[in-house]
Amino acid sequence: MKAIQKFLDHSIVARVPILVWGSPGVGKSATIVAWAKTRGFPCWTVIASLREPSDFAGLPVINPDGSSVYFAPPRFAREAEARGGVIFLDELTTAPPAVQAALLRAVMDRAFGDLELNPSRVAIVAAANPPDEATGGWDLAPPLANRFAHVRFTLDPEDWITQFPSYWGAAPKLAYQADEIDPVKWTVARSLVAAFLRARPAHLLQVPAFESARGGPWPSPRSWDYASRLIAQADGADGDLLDAVASCVGEGPAMEFAVWRREVDLPDPWELLEEPETYRHPTRKDIAYAVLAAVVSAARYKLGPKTWTGAWAILTSAVEAGGADVAAAAARSLAAAQKPDLPVPEKALDAFLPVFRQAELV
């Protein structure tokens, strides 16, 4: 993810449109939108296949006096002109040839109809699945393909598994009208999913080999994210849990997850943060990771002096119990959330100094 974001930083300064390639569900769109948000750029996501050629080439409009015709730009282009930011062309390989042709000037000159946007204020970024993995996919026409710098989105399982419990520090509130998913239950669910995938990383992404199977549930970062949300809503019965996970990632991985889950009994992360001295380091690494990930995610969710020092005390206890390798990933996630008024306790600093140096946090 960091490599893609760095490439995006460089490309917009160089005024080079960039096209990010990757399989469905690996997080291309989420990474691009998150990058724009962290940089403070307004971002307009435009699904090219849902647009008409006139949405890019402009809609012909006759002047009131009938003397001429101008090509009206779409609303997102008008907004980009006023605010500056990123026009994100998603699912590019689902765009038919006529739409691709209309995109030629939009990508090259940032021209939408008769409106030409300032390249020092508006960037063009696109994402696409390979045509054989896109719904109704089309190969990109050579003139359009040649207008982009192309980069492959490479999924880093270790990075995803480490960051998922804290949801990259920005877990959304999940609610519909008066109903809301308990954020603590979702934190624990994400930690469980991450711990399971740490033990079985091959299940993070498995695009089915046969096209007929791709229309059903299969494992990807996106579908595991969905599974964690349903796990948080499950009432605890094995059948409900299995059905919830299977609906997102398929029966095989769901069955493995359900069997693994029966062996795991996680303590409440909030109780541990309240009384860090009660922490007992699990002998199994996958369970230890799940506990520590849940603790750090909870601390980041309600970050304050008590949760901050409590989390570090628990992580330090894990190191003292011989779990330095498991605690290191959780420590990196917690350290990334540090605020100026929250110093790392001296004991934790001594325990994790090599980790901090490697992550360039000190």
Same domain, 204 and 249: yes
Q: Are residues 224 and 333 in the same domain?
A: no
pLDDT at 333: 84
- Domain tally for the chain? 3
Report residue 43 as tokens: 């971002």
Q: Are 334 and 244 in the same domain?
A: no
Q: Which residue has the higher pLDDT, 210 or 1?
A: 210
Per the CB < 8 A criterion, the answer to whether 126 and 174 are in contact is: no
Nearest in space to 145 (alpha carbons), one of 88, 74, 92: 92
Asked if 145 and 186 sit in the same domain, the reply is no
Q: Which of 233, 262, 291 is the last residue of a domain?
A: 262
Claim to verify: residue 174 and residue 149 sit in the same structural domain: no
Verify that 38 and 172 share a domain, yes or no: no
262-300 per-position pLDDT tens digit: 888 788 899 999 999 999 999 888 889 889 988 998 898
Same domain, 190 and 51: no
- Mean pLDDT for the stretch of residues 240-248: 92
Q: What is the pLDDT at residue 222?
A: 95
Same domain? For 85 and 212 the reply is: no
DSSP secondary structure of 153-189: ----HHHHHHHGGGGGG-PPP-EETTEE--HHHHHHH
Residues 17 and 136 in one domain: yes
Distance CA 171, CA 173 (A): 7
pLDDT digits (tens, 9 = 90+) for 254-271: 999 998 988 887 888 999
- 71 beta partners: 60
Domain span at residue 206 reads: 158-262
The predicted structure's pLDDT at residue 263: 81
Which of 109, 134, 154 marks a domain boundary? 154
Average per-residue pLDDT for the chain = 90
Same domain, 144 and 179: no
Tens-place pLDDT, residues 114-151: 999 999 999 999 999 987 776 667 889 999 999 999 99
Residue finishing a domain among 137, 154, 171: 154
Q: How confident is the model at residue 75 (pLDDT cuts 50, 70, 90)?
A: very high
Q: What whole-number distance in Å separates Cα of residue 103 and Cα of residue 91?
A: 13
Residues 214-239 have pLDDT tens digits of 889 999 999 999 999 999 988 665 67
Residues 6+ apart with CB under 8 A from 75: none
Clarify whether residues 23 and 124 are in a common domain.
yes
Residue 361 has pLDDT above 90, yes or no: no
Rounded to 5°, the CA angle 278-323-289 comes to 75
Q: Quick one: 119 and 238 in the same domain?
A: no
The domain spanning residue 48 has which CATH number? 3.40.50.300
- The pTM of the full predicted model, rounded to 2 decimals, is 0.78
